[in-house]
Amino acid sequence: MWRRVAGAVRQPEPPVQAEVTAEATAGTPQIRVRAFRMGFVGALGVLLAVFLGGIVNQLSTVILYVALALFLALGLDPIVSWLQRRGMARWVAILLVFVFVIGLFVALIATIVPLVVEQVTKIVENWDQTVADIKNSDVVAWISSIAGGATWIEDGIATVGDWLGDPKNIGALTGGILAVGAGIAGGLTGATIVLILTLYFLASLDSMKRYAARFVPASSRNGFLEVSQEITGSVGRYVIGQLSLASINGVLSLIYLTIIGAPAPILLAFIAFLGSLVPLVGTLTGAIIITIFSFAASPATGIAAGIYYLVYMQVEAYVLSPRIMSRAVSVPGALVVIAAVAGGTLGGVLGALVAIPIAASLIIIVEKVIFPRQDVA
Give tens-digit pLDDT for 77-96.
888 888 888 888 888 888 88
pLDDT of residue 18: 47
Which pLDDT score is estimated for 146?
63
Q: Which of 112-126, 186-200, 210-224 has the lowest mean pLDDT?
A: 112-126
Q: Is the pLDDT of residue 198 over 70?
A: yes
Model confidence pLDDT, tens digit, residues 284-343: 888 998 988 887 777 788 889 999 999 998 888 888 877 777 666 666 767 777 777 777
pTM over 0.95: no
What are the b/e assignments for 206-245, b being 16+ CB within 10 Å?
eebeeeebeeeeeeeeeebeebbebbbbbbbbbbbbbbeb
Task: Return the pLDDT at 200.
Answer: 85
Positive or negative: CA dihedral 294, 296, 301, 303: positive
Say what the pLDDT of residue 327 is.
64
- Residue 205: enclosing H or E segment and its boundaries? helix 205-213
Q: Which residue has the higher pLDDT, 140 or 177?
A: 140
Give dist(CA 277, CA 272) in Å, integer: 9
Report the pLDDT value the prediction gives residue 130, as an integer from 0 to 100.
Answer: 65
To 10 degrees, what angle do helices 218-260 and 205-213 make? 140
Distance between the two ends of the chain, CA-based, in angstroms?
45
Q: Average pLDDT, stretch 355-367?
A: 78
Between CA 346 and CA 60 the distance in angstroms is: 9
Please tell me the predicted confidence (pLDDT) of residue 1.
Answer: 47
- Interatomic CA distance for residues 274 and 120, integer angstroms: 17
Taking the C-alpha atoms of residue 33 and residue 350, their distance in angstroms, rounded to an integer, is 51
Of the given ranges (7-21, 50-64, 299-313), which has the lowest mean pLDDT? 7-21
DSSP letter (8 states) at residue 3:
E
Asked whether 152 and 299 are in contact (CB, 8 A), the reply is: no
Cite the DSSP H helix spans in 261-332: 265-276, 281-294, 299-315, 321-324
Q: What pLDDT does 334 receive?
A: 72
Q: Rounded to an integer, what distance in angstroms lies between the CA atom of residue 251 and that of residue 253?
A: 5
Residue 256 pLDDT > 90: yes
Q: How far is CA 333 from the centre of its chain?
A: 15
pLDDT number for residue 309: 93
Closest CA to 70 of 183, 198, 174, 163: 198
Of the listed ranges 146-150, 255-259, 355-359, the least confidently predicted one is: 146-150
pLDDT of residue 253: 92
How many CB atoms lie under 10 A from the CB of residue 322? 11
Q: Is 1 helix (H, G, I), strand (E, B) or coil?
A: coil
What does the pLDDT look like over 143-157, one tens digit per residue? 666 655 555 555 665
Chain-wide mean pLDDT for the chain? 74
Percent over 90 (pLDDT), the chain: 5
Give the residue among 199, 198, 227 at the shortest CA–CA distance from 212.
227
DSSP reduced 3-state for 25: strand
The beta-strand segments (E) located in the chain are 3-5, 8-10
Q: Are 213 and 84 in contact (CB under 8 A)?
A: no
Which pLDDT score is estimated for 20?
A: 45
pLDDT over 50 at 345, yes or no: yes
Let me know: does 274 contact 365? Beta carbons within 8 Å.
no
Are the beta carbons of 20 and 30 closer than 8 angstroms?
A: yes
pLDDT for residue 187: 65
Cβ burial 52-61 (10 Å sphere, 16+ → b, else e) = eeeeeeeeee
In this prediction, residue 9 carries a pLDDT of 52
Which comes out higher in pLDDT, residue 209 or 155?
209
DSSP state of 28: B
